[in-house]
């Protein structure tokens, strides 16, 4: 398998990012960005309609229906996930739907897939598509998003078509890759993970909170496109189809920071940072 080009000696990830060009970055699309406001601050979630278009559309509809407003964080399972929303479907959903067809995988054709040259335990090939960690199986012609830290998915029951985004979870522990292709991944948190990862662990089964007062309320969830421009989070993410990102990956595969004495020479897709920064003034 081909390897990535070697990085100039001594360059660290910080060096790579410092040398990046404006064209290496892309702003968040307001039509695919959700703001979840909690008492402690704002969580910014980027949706991925290339992989889960029906769920992305449903989440836009739910946000516009104010569906999540007043709901709560209901679960925090140690080294696994934090979950929010509701499962009983009693709250009005506007144009949102209570259940959708599963979007576990999609055809691999047509994706701008940046390949990671290192082997993976769960997939024939891993890499990135437009800023999201992904995997693909060329023999079957399928691709899917993988469960890295910060990934947001749609909870479901045993029926694969029972999820819709009314219940969401975010990965807060070691990447649970066994969930890949078993649940619909809708996006990832690009800002505010520090608000979710510190949620008190629930003492109930699977980390659910047993008492209402243990839950953290959700103030509101809004689509960024529906928020006045002056109130939006001005963020941009590093494009994963650039030489800068290739250099960043190589800097992590072969750590050249002074502290590291033995570079690993390889890396897992979930251990590659996906940089986010404020838009330059």
Q: Stretch 157-178: mean pLDDT, rounded?
A: 96
Q: What percent of the chain has pLDDT over 70?
A: 95
pLDDT at 182 > cutoff 90: yes
- Give all strands of the β-sheet with 235-238 in edge-to-edge order: 25-27, 235-238, 276-278
pLDDT at 2 > cutoff 60: no
pLDDT at 64 > cutoff 50: yes
pLDDT at 7 > cutoff 90: no
Looking at residue 20, its pLDDT comes to 97
Q: Which residues fall within 8 angstroms of residue 6, CB to CB, at 6 or more apart? A: 250, 254
Q: How many CA atoms lie within 13 A of 73 on its CB side?
A: 26
Band (pLDDT 50/70/90 cuts) for residue 60 is very high
Q: What percent of the chain has pLDDT over 90?
A: 90
Band (pLDDT 50/70/90 cuts) for residue 9 is low
For residue 221, the SS3 value is: strand
Looking at residue 11, its pLDDT comes to 84
Band (pLDDT 50/70/90 cuts) for residue 236 is very high
Q: Stretch 72-77: mean pLDDT, rounded?
A: 97
3-state secondary structure 198-232: CCCCCCCHHHECCCHHHCEECCEEEEHHHCCHHHC
Looking at residue 256, its pLDDT comes to 84
Band (pLDDT 50/70/90 cuts) for residue 192 is very high
Q: Stretch 208-236: mean pLDDT, rounded?
A: 97
pLDDT at 1 > cutoff 50: no
Mean pLDDT (the chain) is: 94
pLDDT at 8 > cutoff 70: no
Residue positions counted in the chain:
281
pLDDT digits (tens, 9 = 90+) for 107-166: 999 999 999 999 999 999 999 999 999 999 999 999 999 999 999 999 999 999 999 999
């Amino acid at each position: 398998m081909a390897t990535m080009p070697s990085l100039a000696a001594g360059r660290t990830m910080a060096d790579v990012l410092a040398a990046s060009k404006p064209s290496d970055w892309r702003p968040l699309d307001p039509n695919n960005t959700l703001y979840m406001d909690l008492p402690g601050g704002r969580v910014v979630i980027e949706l991925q309609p290339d992989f889960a278009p029906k769920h992305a559309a449903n989440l836009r509809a739910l946000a516009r229906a104010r569906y999540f407003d007043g709901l709560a964080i209901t679960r925090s399972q140690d080294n696994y996930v934090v979950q929010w929303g509701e499962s009983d479907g009693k709250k009005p959903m506007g144009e949102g739907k209570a259940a959708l067809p599963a979007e576990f995988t999609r055809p691999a054709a047509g994706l701008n897939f940046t390949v990671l040259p290192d082997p993976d335990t769960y997939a024939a090939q891993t890499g990135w598509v437009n800023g999201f960690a992904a995997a693909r199986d060329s023999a079957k012609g399928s691709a899917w998003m993988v469960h890295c830290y910060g990934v947001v998915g749609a909870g479901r029951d045993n029926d694969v078509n029972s999820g819709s985004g009314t219940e969401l979870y975010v990965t807060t522990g070691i990447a649970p890759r066994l969930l890949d292709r078993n649940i619909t991944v809708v996006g990832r948190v690009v800002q505010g993970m520090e608000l979710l990862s510190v949620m008190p662990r629930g003492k109930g089964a699977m980390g659910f909170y047993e008492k209402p007062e243990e839950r953290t309320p959700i103030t509101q969830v809004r689509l960024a496109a529906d928020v006045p421009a002056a109130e939006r989070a001005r963020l941009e993410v590093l494009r994963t189809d650039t030489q800068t990102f290739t250099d960043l990956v190589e800097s992590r595969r072969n750590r050249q920071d002074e502290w590291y004495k033995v570079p690993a020479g390889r890396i897992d897709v979930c251990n590659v940072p996906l940089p986010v920064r404020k838009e330059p003034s």
